[in-house]
A and B are shown apart, each in its own frame.
Chain A
Amino acid sequence: MSSKEVLLEVKGLNVTFGKGKSKFEAIRDVSFEIYKGETFGLVGESGSGKTTIGRSIMRINEVTGGEILFRGRPINGNIPKEWDREITQKIQMIFQDPMASLNERAKVDYVISEGLLNTKKFGNDAERMEKVRNALLEVGLLPEFASRFPHEFSGGQRQRIGIARALVMEPEFIIADEPISALDVSIRAQVLNLLSNLQKQNNLTYLFIAHDLSIVRFITDRTAVIYEGEIVELAPTEKLFSNPIHPYTRALISAVPEPNPYKERAKKVEIYNPAQHNYEKDRPSFVEIEDGHFVHANKEEISRYRTMYKIGV
């Protein structure tokens, strides 16, 4: 893993909303790296800050502290204009709700090429049309659909349009914020397959934000679990699921419904109580407990986790 090229690095990220009395720290000291070509999962409950992290990378949310580096260069704060333009093109986002994320009054042609128009990334109109056409074909839609309006499409098709809109910019890095949560079961699989095929073809890197752990397990290479603005555990996905360490991760994984009535009914759901940590004297930090497996814990907890889960002893 460590030999891989780091594409995106988040260092000590802090996002605070509001001022003074109504100040709210949404993200506290979050750091992680995303390697080129991988799918990095970010899971947590609503309000945990997973979307805020995605939006900070998209530079929709102001960053209060820390740095975000793309290919080793900072992308937040004051940056040169060309770099800013390049980032705008290289980092794209796919949104959750295809019903709300497309402009109802614009034709698909415009919806897809709006980014191109803004960055003037095309020579003439014929070239732009060609790009839209290719993007539509890539996501499995017909080129004729360009002249239709979003309301003429089903949820699955609209999500494909949302994906085409990101692809047309020829990005390297895509933030997918719950891209399939609003879709039907049978359509979900289609879109998941589409995303992984596109990744292979175009050598894309994904940040996959989701709350559904069964999907995260299926699609991601590494996963970070976030709780109230802090990453509590980060590991290669299989390791995280087979050997979860942090009590919150354990609670989250135990709550995932199993599609097997016998297992589902026999299973015990663990409940996470944040009061169990004693961080008064012994401050916690983000510790690598085994190769590539990080946990947010203090010294006493680390030694306890090591003996409990037989790691590194």
Chain B
Amino acid sequence: MGSNNEKPRILSIQNLIIKFKLRGQVLTAIRNISLDLYKGESLAIVGESGSGKSVLVKSIMGLLDKNGFIDQGQILYKDYDLAQFNTEKDWLRIRGKEIAMVTQDPMTSLNPLKTVGKQIEECVVLHQGLKGKEAYERTLKLLRDVGIGDVEKRYKQYPHEFSGGMRQRIVIAIAVACNPKILICDEPTTALDVTIQAQILQLLKNLQEMYGLTTIYITHDLGVVAKVADRIAVMYAGDIIEIGKTHEVFFDGKHPYTWALLSSLPQLGSKGEELYSIKGTPPNLFNEIKGDAFAPRNPYALNIDFVERPPFFKVTETHFAKTWLLHADAPKVVPPQSLQAFFEEGRRYAHE
């Protein structure tokens, strides 16, 4: 889905189903997802906790928990089908070298007993095959690239001597040191302050250009998405319910869940009035989900939403949404009032 003529496809997920065994029960975390990733783009996967966004990218890295398994589907990268990989040896060809990851919390993702220089150099030696002085020089260059000053001194310091933002820069340097093709950023700025967040996002954007990376952002923060993403995939209950270019999803969203997510932003609320909130809670993934997973919480739900799962309906060449509201026979439904003003504003910007 989402044909994109300019860029070649780099990763393709097809009909993926991921399940977890938990206390004798089986939980379906990913419910039949197909997704293409194009070279050089940055894709943001948006969703609440429990929507499966982390599970999806973990499966690409082979980092699923022991009780998780791929039940069906393919993950095609180069000539490999990553879904068939089952030994660590297989994964070592991919992990780091081809696909690297920046995790959420820079406080726990570094080794406190090693200097940051050594931690970066480790990757340079392993993945770029450099040794001695060369490896050292490359490490210093990486430190400079991620915006750290006084690199010779910093090389010899330990993680506890760095602030949160600086540590996240180190984590990013380690990920980039592997020379990956795809960089996955799992909530890269959630643990950071706003002023630092802006800097880290800018850094990631710059690195993407400098190293020709394809990036996947996982986030629940639509502000982050607005800053970095070319395309957005919205996830709900283990499924991608809408995908499209950033401005399409923001200003011409079609799925009621996308509407609800946008409407519950405090920026769209007016003071003194009740903020729009999604009623109820996400579905229990232990149970089989019938129809549209969002239907019970959806004020616009049609009868068919409770019976049959909607397919992807095409909105434009690059924009698809899984909602029966787009079916030709569906009644005309307009998004909530506050959102229409937001859409209008977006269209005005698009024309300028």
Contact = CB atoms under 8 A, between A and B. Distances in A.
A261 B268 CA distance: 15
Contact residues on B (Cβ < 8 Å of other chain), bracket:
35 or more
Interface of B is mostly: helix
Contacts of B247: 261-262
A159 B210 CA distance: 43
B223 A185 contact: no
Nearest to B48: A184
A252 interface: yes
Interface string B194-224: 1111110010000000000000000011111
A190 B275 CA distance: 8
Given A186-B48, A258-B226, A215 B266 contact: yes
B281 A154 contact: yes
Interface stretch (B131-139, B313-321, B344-352): B344-352
Given A193-B274, A256-B223, A186 B265 contact: no
A188 interface: yes
A190 B277 contact: yes
Nearest to A194: B277
B227 A186 contact: no
Interface in A141-200: 154-156, 184-190, 192-193, 196
A251 interface: yes
Contacts of A186: 48, 260-261, 264, 277-278
Contact residues on A (Cβ < 8 Å of other chain), bracket:
35 or more
Contacts of A287: none
Given A189-B278, A192-B266, A211-B193, A259 B222 contact: yes
B333 to A, nearest CB: 20
A218 B269 contact: yes
Contact of B226 (A45, A190, A238, A260): A260
B274 A259 contact: no
Contact of B266 (A218, A255, A257): A218
Nearest to A264: B226
B193 A260 contact: no
Contact of A261 (B195, B246, B276, B342): B246
Interface of B: 48-49, 164, 193-199, 202, 220-227, 229, 246-247, 250, 260-262, 264-269, 271, 274-278, 281, 342, 345-346, 349-350, 352
13 contacts: A185-B48, A185-B220, A185-B261, A190-B277, A196-B274, A217-B266, A255-B198, A257-B221, A259-B226, A259-B265, A260-B342, A261-B227, A271-B195
Given A193-B275, A260-B349, 17 more contacts: A45-B194, A45-B195, A184-B48, A185-B48, A185-B261, A187-B48, A189-B266, A190-B278, A192-B275, A211-B194, A238-B271, A257-B198, A257-B226, A257-B227, A261-B225, A262-B350, A264-B223
